[in-house]
Amino acid sequence: MDSQKAGNYANVGMFFLTILALIVSMATLGYMYWIRVYPDPEKVPPMMDVGVLETGWLAVILVASSALISAVALLISSSRRWRNKKLLRQIDTLDADLTTERNNVADAAKDIEKLKRDLKEAGLRENDQRNQKETVLTELRKREDDLAELRTLRAMREGQAGNIKDHVIMTGLNPIELKLQGNADSGPCVTLTIFIRNESLYNVAIRPNEIQGRLAFGEQALQEPIIVVIDAWNDPIDNLKPLGSASIVLRQPLRGFEVERIMSLPDGAFRLAPLRIPITVVNSQYKVLSKNLRITAEFDHIRLDAFCVTKNVDSKD
């Protein structure tokens, strides 16, 4: 900036110097012309008779000096213009190079950002692949555990299939009513409830029409076959799931001589051993043979004093 300002000042000074030289030259030429055409040469001013003025070379010298100064000024000005043009070209070249470098820097910045994005995406893909691998491994371990569990369950199923009666168990026996005299609705009978629980891995059913046998009183079996009570409060066991519980209401009809025997033995007990209660596996791909419910010694008998005894429907006892 300082060199450019100094050049500008020099150009301005040279311009004024050239103007001044031109003015002096023009004044000299005018003066010489005035002398030449003066009407009375004898009256020419005295200064024209001295030295150079007398010879007439002053005007030539001044014109030549002015021309020389103008030529020098023009040369200097042309030189400066040429140098300025060269500097401008260099500046333009530098601007172009700077623009190119800026573009290169911008492109490099874009490439760096792209590389960062690519690196980030690669990291994300690697994380996704790692997560997918972990998910697959976790699922594989889970499948292996499930397969091992299925093998265990299959072995348990196969073991239970051979003897289902050991896994569907009797859990309780509840006396309901002992009716020793009949009425318009029914004859003498004894009614009780058996409770069971399915501890097998199969769905099971106990069908009423397959239950056979009769109760015994003391050591003697009663005569009438057992009846399974099915009504609004007692549903048949059609599909008892594993760990499910259910109940069966049984009614044993009594004959007259059996009522007399029961009344003569107040300390007697009914026994369930003669009953046959088949357990049937349903909805299974395995073939499982039906087995009778195991009646254990704990629930094999029920004493008379456990019942609510009804001797006569009109009795107040």
For 259-290, what is each residue's pLDDT tens digit? 999 999 988 999 998 899 999 999 888 788 88
List Cα–Cα distances, 132 to 117, 125, 141, 142, 306, in angstroms.
Answer: 22, 10, 14, 15, 67
Position 312 pLDDT exceeds 50: no
At residue 110, the pLDDT reads: 87
Residue 170: closest CA among 109, 250, 52: 250
Terminal alpha carbon distance of the chain: 134
Q: How many CB atoms lie within 10 A of CB 222?
A: 22
What the block records as the tokens of 127 is 């994380």
At residue 4, the pLDDT reads: 58
Position 315 pLDDT exceeds 50: no
Q: Which positions ≥6 away from 106 have C-beta within 8 Å?
A: none
In DSSP terms, 250 is beta-bridged to 192, 228
What average pLDDT does the structure give for the chain? 80
**pLDDT band with cut points at 50, 70 and 90 for residue 316:** very low
Q: How many CB atoms lie within 10 A of CB 81?
A: 11
At residue 60, the pLDDT reads: 61
At residue 192, the pLDDT reads: 94
At residue 37, the pLDDT reads: 60
pLDDT, tens digit, 9 for 90 and up, residues 168-219: 999 999 999 999 887 877 889 999 999 999 999 899 999 999 999 999 998 8
Angle between helix 2-36 and helix 58-161 axes, rounded to 10 deg: 160
Alpha-carbon span 14 to 148, nearest angstrom:
108
Q: Positive or negative, the Cα torsion across 142, 144, 148, 153?
A: positive
Alpha-carbon span 65 to 68, nearest angstrom:
5
Residue type, 155: A
What the block records as the tokens of 275 is 């009953």
Residue 126: closest CA among 225, 160, 267, 134: 134
Position 156 pLDDT exceeds 70: yes
Position 73 pLDDT exceeds 90: no
Alpha-carbon span 248 to 245, nearest angstrom:
11
At residue 313, the pLDDT reads: 39
- 294 phi, psi to nearest 5 deg: -80, 120
pLDDT, tens digit, 9 for 90 and up, residues 99-151: 888 888 888 888 888 888 888 888 888 888 888 888 888 887 887 777 777 77
Q: Identify which has the larger pLDDT, 159 or 70.
A: 159
**Boundaries of every domain in the chain:** 2-107, 164-310
List Cα–Cα distances, 210 to 161, 226, 236, in angstroms.
Answer: 20, 11, 12
Residue for token pair 């609510």: 308
Q: How many CB atoms lie within 10 A of CB 281?
A: 22
Cβ-contact 177, 308 below 8 angstroms: yes
Cβ-contact 263, 181 below 8 angstroms: no
Position 317 pLDDT exceeds 50: no
> Among 180-189, 231-240, 251-260, where is mean pLDDT lowest?
180-189
Alpha-carbon span 62 to 25, nearest angstrom:
6
Tell me the H-state helices in the chain: 2-36, 51-55, 58-161, 256-264
Q: Identify which has the larger pLDDT, 49 or 241.
A: 241
Report the top-level CATH class of 164-310.
Answer: mainly beta
Q: How many CB atoms lie within 10 A of CB 232?
A: 5
